[in-house]
Amino acid sequence: MKMNHSDDILKHTNCLTQNQMQDYLKNNLNRTEVRKVEMHLASCDFCTEALDGLSDIDSEKQLSATMKQMRKHLHYQVRQSAVQKSKRRHPLLWVIISIIIVLIILLLAFLVVNRSIKDNQDNATIPKQEQAFNIT
Protein backbone atom coordinates (compact mmCIF):
# COMPACT_ATOMS: atom_id res chain seq x y z
CA MET A 1 0.00 0.00 0.00
CA LYS A 2 1.46 3.33 -1.01
CA MET A 3 1.01 5.95 1.61
CA ASN A 4 0.56 9.66 1.20
CA HIS A 5 3.28 11.59 3.01
CA SER A 6 0.62 13.64 4.81
CA ASP A 7 -0.93 10.42 6.14
CA ASP A 8 2.24 9.31 7.91
CA ILE A 9 1.76 10.49 11.49
CA LEU A 10 5.36 9.66 12.35
CA LYS A 11 6.99 11.67 9.57
CA HIS A 12 8.41 14.22 12.03
CA THR A 13 10.03 11.59 14.24
CA ASN A 14 12.94 9.21 13.95
CA CYS A 15 10.53 6.27 14.04
CA LEU A 16 10.03 3.85 11.20
CA THR A 17 7.49 4.65 8.52
CA GLN A 18 4.64 2.34 7.69
CA ASN A 19 6.34 1.56 4.37
CA GLN A 20 9.59 0.62 6.12
CA MET A 21 7.70 -1.69 8.47
CA GLN A 22 5.79 -3.31 5.62
CA ASP A 23 8.96 -3.78 3.57
CA TYR A 24 10.65 -5.30 6.63
CA LEU A 25 7.78 -7.75 7.13
CA LYS A 26 7.79 -8.70 3.43
CA ASN A 27 11.60 -9.09 3.41
CA ASN A 28 11.91 -6.36 0.77
CA LEU A 29 14.86 -4.60 2.44
CA ASN A 30 18.56 -5.07 1.80
CA ARG A 31 20.90 -6.10 4.64
CA THR A 32 21.84 -2.53 5.53
CA GLU A 33 18.20 -1.44 5.74
CA VAL A 34 17.28 -4.56 7.76
CA ARG A 35 20.08 -3.80 10.22
CA LYS A 36 18.93 -0.18 10.52
CA VAL A 37 15.30 -1.24 11.15
CA GLU A 38 16.35 -3.85 13.72
CA MET A 39 18.59 -1.37 15.53
CA HIS A 40 15.67 1.02 15.77
CA LEU A 41 13.28 -1.71 16.93
CA ALA A 42 15.71 -2.63 19.71
CA SER A 43 15.39 0.85 21.19
CA CYS A 44 11.80 1.83 20.32
CA ASP A 45 8.89 0.09 22.03
CA PHE A 46 6.38 2.08 19.98
CA CYS A 47 7.71 0.81 16.65
CA THR A 48 8.06 -2.72 18.02
CA GLU A 49 4.38 -2.70 19.03
CA ALA A 50 3.39 -1.18 15.68
CA LEU A 51 5.35 -3.84 13.82
CA ASP A 52 3.69 -6.57 15.89
CA GLY A 53 0.31 -5.10 15.00
CA LEU A 54 1.17 -4.94 11.32
CA SER A 55 2.37 -8.54 11.33
CA ASP A 56 -1.06 -9.66 12.58
CA ILE A 57 -2.79 -8.15 9.55
CA ASP A 58 -3.14 -10.65 6.74
CA SER A 59 -3.90 -8.63 3.62
CA GLU A 60 -3.26 -5.24 2.07
CA LYS A 61 -7.01 -4.59 2.01
CA GLN A 62 -7.30 -5.30 5.73
CA LEU A 63 -4.26 -3.12 6.41
CA SER A 64 -5.73 -0.28 4.36
CA ALA A 65 -9.05 -0.49 6.20
CA THR A 66 -7.31 -0.63 9.58
CA MET A 67 -5.09 2.36 8.78
CA LYS A 68 -8.10 4.33 7.54
CA GLN A 69 -9.98 3.56 10.74
CA MET A 70 -6.96 4.49 12.88
CA ARG A 71 -6.51 7.81 11.02
CA LYS A 72 -10.21 8.57 11.42
CA HIS A 73 -10.01 7.82 15.13
CA LEU A 74 -6.84 9.90 15.50
CA HIS A 75 -8.44 12.89 13.76
CA TYR A 76 -11.51 12.52 15.97
CA GLN A 77 -9.33 12.55 19.09
CA VAL A 78 -7.45 15.63 17.87
CA ARG A 79 -10.74 17.45 17.25
CA GLN A 80 -12.04 16.43 20.69
CA SER A 81 -8.83 17.67 22.26
CA ALA A 82 -9.22 21.02 20.49
CA VAL A 83 -12.81 21.31 21.72
CA GLN A 84 -11.74 20.55 25.27
CA LYS A 85 -8.99 23.18 25.09
CA SER A 86 -11.40 25.80 23.78
CA LYS A 87 -13.79 25.04 26.63
CA ARG A 88 -10.99 25.57 29.11
CA ARG A 89 -10.19 29.00 27.69
CA HIS A 90 -13.64 30.45 28.35
CA PRO A 91 -13.46 30.38 32.18
CA LEU A 92 -10.17 32.25 32.01
CA LEU A 93 -11.82 34.90 29.85
CA TRP A 94 -14.61 35.31 32.39
CA VAL A 95 -12.11 35.62 35.23
CA ILE A 96 -10.28 38.38 33.36
CA ILE A 97 -13.53 40.21 32.59
CA SER A 98 -14.61 39.91 36.24
CA ILE A 99 -11.30 41.34 37.47
CA ILE A 100 -11.60 44.28 35.06
CA ILE A 101 -15.16 44.99 36.23
CA VAL A 102 -14.10 44.89 39.89
CA LEU A 103 -11.22 47.26 39.17
CA ILE A 104 -13.55 49.70 37.39
CA ILE A 105 -15.98 49.60 40.32
CA LEU A 106 -13.14 50.23 42.78
CA LEU A 107 -11.88 53.14 40.68
CA LEU A 108 -15.36 54.68 40.53
CA ALA A 109 -15.80 54.23 44.29
CA PHE A 110 -12.43 55.91 44.91
CA LEU A 111 -13.39 58.85 42.70
CA VAL A 112 -16.78 59.28 44.44
CA VAL A 113 -15.23 59.12 47.92
CA ASN A 114 -12.40 61.45 46.90
CA ARG A 115 -14.92 63.94 45.45
CA SER A 116 -17.04 63.74 48.59
CA ILE A 117 -14.04 64.42 50.84
CA LYS A 118 -13.00 67.33 48.66
CA ASP A 119 -16.56 68.80 48.78
CA ASN A 120 -16.59 68.45 52.58
CA GLN A 121 -13.26 70.25 52.83
CA ASP A 122 -14.53 73.03 50.56
CA ASN A 123 -17.71 73.37 52.66
CA ALA A 124 -15.64 73.53 55.85
CA THR A 125 -13.50 76.41 54.57
CA ILE A 126 -16.49 78.55 53.46
CA PRO A 127 -17.84 79.21 57.01
CA LYS A 128 -14.36 80.23 58.20
CA GLN A 129 -14.14 82.75 55.38
CA GLU A 130 -17.65 84.06 56.22
CA GLN A 131 -16.61 84.45 59.87
CA ALA A 132 -13.59 86.46 58.79
CA PHE A 133 -15.86 88.95 57.00
CA ASN A 134 -18.33 89.23 59.94
CA ILE A 135 -15.81 90.51 62.48
CA THR A 136 -17.73 93.62 63.44
Percent of the chain with pLDDT over 70: 76
Question: 23: pLDDT confidence band, cut at 50, 70 and 90?
Answer: confident
> Residue 1 pLDDT > 50, yes or no?
no
Please state, as a whole number, how many other Cβ atoms lie within 10 Å of the Cβ of residue 20.
Answer: 19
The reported pTM is 0.42
Question: 11: pLDDT confidence band, cut at 50, 70 and 90?
Answer: low
Of 22-26, 60-64, 79-83, 105-109, minimum mean pLDDT range: 60-64
User: For the stretch 49-78, what's the b/e string if a residue is b when 16 or more beta carbons lie within 10 angstroms of its beta carbon?
Assistant: ebbeebeebeeeeebeeebeeeeeeeeeee
Question: 79: pLDDT confidence band, cut at 50, 70 and 90?
Answer: confident
Between the alpha carbon of residue 44 and those of residues 13, 35, 41, 49, 51, the distances in Å are 12, 14, 5, 9, 11
Reported as a single tens digit per residue, the pLDDT across 116-133 is 998 888 777 665 555 555
